[in-house]
Structures are given as C-alpha cells and as structure tokens.
Amino acid sequence: MNLLTFCYLISSITFIIGLKLLSGPATARRGNLIAAAGMLLAILGTVFLYQDERGTRLGNYGWIFGGIFIGAVIGTLAAKKVKMTAMPEMVSMFNGMGGLCAALISIVEFDYLGELHHTIRDTYYGSTALPAFTGHLVIILLGLIIGSVSFSGSVVAWGKLNGTIKDRSFKGQHIVNLLVLLVILLASVFLVVRFDASASWIFYGVLALALVYGLLFVLPIGGADMPVVISLLNSFTGVAAACGGFLYNNKVMLTGGILVGAAGTLLTILMCRAMNRSLLNVLVGSFGGGTAAAAGNKAQGAVKEISLTDAAVVMGYAQKVVIVPGYGLAVAQAQHTCHELEKLLESRGVEVQYAIHPVAGRMPGHMNVLLAEADVPYEKLLEMEQANEVFPHADVVLVLGANDVVNPAAKTDPASPIYGMPVLEVELAKMVIVNKRSMKPGYAGIENELFFSPKTSMLFGDAKKVLQELAAALKNI
C-alpha cells in the first residue's frame, strides 16, 4: 500500500465516521469537522502524492491552490452570511455545484476520448479489453446525465425556495418529461454503440437535454415537496460523484459519492414515509400546487383570538407546555427568544418540550438545526411519534409558524391533498395557541382546520415580537 492509498483509506474512514456522528445534534458538529479533515487530507494527498503510470505528478499548483482559495473564501462568506431561513436554498445551490462538477468531469473525459479515439479503437477493437472501454464511456455518460439533472434541478429548487420561481406546469408535461428522458437514453445508447469523435454533437446534445430535463423535472413539483426534492437531488449528486471516482479509479471519491448517494436515497425514502406518500406521487403529484390546494380549501367558520396577557397567564400556570416550531419561527429568527421563553417557563416549574415534525421547515432537520443554534437541549426535542403520545397530557401547545404539519385534515378529510400524511396531533392537548402573521395558508396552499377548533386560540403577529412580549408578560405575573 503506497502513501496516497493510505491517505484515501483514512479519508474514507473519516467520511463514514462523520456521517455516523451527523445522526445526532449533540455530535453533528464534531462529525462535520472530522469529515472535513478527511476531505482536506484527500485533496492534499492527491495534489502532492498522485502520479500516473509514467511517474508524472500533478503540476499547475498555482491554479489548483488559487481555485481552492477562491472557493474556500466564497463558501466561508456564504455560510457566515446566510440566514437560517435561507439555509435550504444554500444547501440546494451547493448541491447543484457538486452536480455541475461531475458533469464537467464527464465533459473533460469525453473530449479526451475524442482526441484519442483512433488509438483507442485500434487498441481495444476485437480484444477482450473492449468492454472496459465501453464501460468507461457508459460511466462518462451517466456522470454527465445525472450531474446535469442535479445541477439544473437544484437551481430550480433554489429559485422555488427563495420565491423567485413559481410552480410551473402544463398539460401533458409528465409525458413530455418522459419523452425527453427517452431521447436522452436512446442518444446515449447510440453514442456507446457507435462511438466516434465526429459524433461529439450527440454528446453535447445529451448534455443540453439533461439540463432541460432537470428544469422540467423540478418545475411542476409543489413547494411543500421541496424538502424531498432536495434530498433526492442530493442523492443524484452523490451518484454522479461516484461516477467520477470510477473514471479516475479514485477510491476516496468513489466512497464519498456512494455515501452521499446512499444517504440521500435513504433520507428521501424516510421523508416520503413521513408524508405517507410514494416517491412517484411526490414527483408527479404536484403537491402544493394551485389545483391540488384548491381541493383542500373550504369554509371553516370564525377563529378565536387570545391576548398576549391571557396567553402568558395560561402558559405560566400550566404544568406541561409543548412548543411546535415551524417555518414562521425561522423567518422571524426567533429561536433564541423562544429559548428564553422556555427558560422563563421552567423557572416557574412548567415542563417544556419541543415537538419536531420530520418535514417541518424547508429541508430535512431544519427545525433541529434552528433550535440547536439557540442551545436548546437535544433531550427536549420530541420526534413526531413521541410528541403524539405527549400531546394528550399537555396543558398548552404553542404552535409557532407551523401550518401543514399540524393540520387535522390530514386525518379527517379524504379530499385534502395532504390526506394520509402523518401530522403532529396538537388538537389532543387541552389548549392550543397558534402564532401566525395572518390567516394565509401554509406552503401546501390549503386551509388549516386546526385554526377553527374550539380548543384553538390565535395569537397574530411576528413570532419574535410575540415571544418577546410573552416573556415580558410572564415576568409580570
């Protein structure tokens, strides 16, 4: 085993350990640092230790480290300046960059094959090594297609998450999508069977169609399904990176890509289960779109409001309070204020816990990260199944900006587009206080039956301001 292989082995181990530690908020930061250290080791090992079969080492250190420096500066500034509400779109954009890199690798490798196609054909044709050449070309095309779809799809997801791109669909779009995908596959098969440098226009045609397919693939998917789409695109990027590992016989690149692809796929499956929907339904159902949303809207009646003072009194004299954070909490950047309210309640002898829905927010784990940033103890966070067992024993449930994940219509209304989706059963508590800016529907675009329940009282206003005033009112009780 040479030194570079040893570096790759250590790096691969750090990726696996880091991924394992990411499974819990208490160890996630350490896992991230361990995996980052492994990636740094892999990069430096490749730059300084790699050599080809002729003993030639990498050059152009100025370009390599210049690119690393520029990327590091941009990434650091972006990560430091991003708001917690914008974290999902940043993740989506960074994921898209990974897909773009995989596609660029395929382009470079195809151009290399094109330059040497006569030599390659003369060397491989009629020999037992021909399947190896064909396999190389297949991997190039897979990396190109998957990486391009991941890139353009992630760009659309980024636009949907920040509100610059709206849901777009047309009659027969799914058929068009399938036709585009079929053309991509047929053109790729033709290129593999009849490889020739003069047919490079087919390769770039596949690239263009793959980019178009990524756009068409994500555009009609409703906003409420964006967390699932981000996770799926993340798995695509991992698979595309693994293709690059195959091309260069790079073990650490292959290991990292497989880990990302497998983790993204498993997370996608788990999120679909959390919504009681199949992945196919997510991809073709346009959940959260206008038509589907309209089916779930119907007249509900009047809502009941509660004053800040009354809300403070009810919570201050309760024995058990459960807080349900949602996207509204993230928008208001109110996680620290929420933690202060929690500590005030506990100083009065009130037991406080948090109920976390697996798809709350705009990406998997959004609420967990939000509360971890405010130093909320991990032990206070209840997963959906645990929370639903606790709600019947809670005196007050405070819903902060959550909407679709607490909608009883998911259990009671077969006409609702979210029917069958597991939700937090907050209506089982003795009293529910819902904080929202207005009565505007949630991300799925449907009315929430919870707001009209006799047990529910509405507390309108910005989450941060409301929580600050609740804390002040509690101090005066």
Q: Which residues belong to the active site?
A: 404
Helices 25-49 and 3-21 meet at what angle, rounded to 10?
160
- For tokens 């459960």, name the residue: 322
- H or E element at residue 384: helix 384-390
Q: What is the DSSP letter of 197?
A: G
Sheet containing 351-356: which strands, arranged edge to edge? 381-383, 351-356, 320-325, 396-400, 432-436, 456-460
Report the C-alpha gap between 327 and 39 in whole angstroms.
33
Which tokens hold the place of 238?
A: 């991992």
Angle, alpha carbons 119-124-126 (nearest 5°): 130
Among the listed residues 323, 329, 321, 424, the one whose alpha carbon sits nearest the alpha carbon of residue 369: 329
Distance between start and end Cα atoms, the chain:
71
Among the listed residues 318, 372, 373, the one whose alpha carbon sits nearest the alpha carbon of residue 346: 318
Report the C-alpha gap between 247 and 136 in whole angstroms.
7
Report the C-alpha gap between 14 and 185 in whole angstroms.
36
What does the DSSP assignment read for 37-89?
HHHHHHHHHHHHH-B-TT-PBP--HHHHHHHHHHHHHHHHHHHHH--GGGHHH
Three-state DSSP state, 107: helix
Report the C-alpha gap between 18 and 12 in whole angstroms.
10
- H or E element at residue 430: none
Q: Torsion angle, CA of 321/327/328/331, rounded to 10 degrees?
A: 130
Q: Which amino acid is present at 232?
A: L
Q: Which amino acid is present at 238?
A: G
- Alpha helix positions (H), 275-361: 279-284, 290-295, 308-316, 327-331, 335-347
Determine whether 303 is exposed, middle or buried from the number of CB atoms within 10 Å of its CB (0-12, 13-18, 19+): middle
Strand pairing class (320-325; 396-400): parallel
Report the C-alpha gap between 411 and 409 in whole angstroms.
5
